Amino acid sequence: MNAAIRRLVLDAMKPQEPDILEFADTVADSPGVEAVNVVLVETDREVQNLKLTVEGDEIDANALEEAITDLGGTVHSIDQVVCGDRLVEQVETPQDK
Give yes or no for a contact between 13 and 47, defined as CB atoms under 8 angstroms apart.
Answer: yes
Q: Is residue 57 helix, strand or coil?
A: coil
The pLDDT value recorded for residue 97 is 77
Q: Confirm whether 93 is domain-assigned.
A: no
Q: Confirm whether 91 is domain-assigned.
A: no
The 10s digit of each residue's pLDDT in 10-19 is 999 999 999 9
Q: What is the mean pLDDT of residues 75-86?
A: 93
The crossing angle, in degrees rounded to 10, of helices 20-28 and 61-70 is 150
Q: What is the CATH number of the domain that holds 58?
A: 3.30.70.1340
pTM of the model: 0.88
The pLDDT value recorded for residue 1 is 52
Instruction: Tell whether the model's pLDDT for residue 90 goes beyond 90.
Output: no
Count of structural domains, the chain: 1
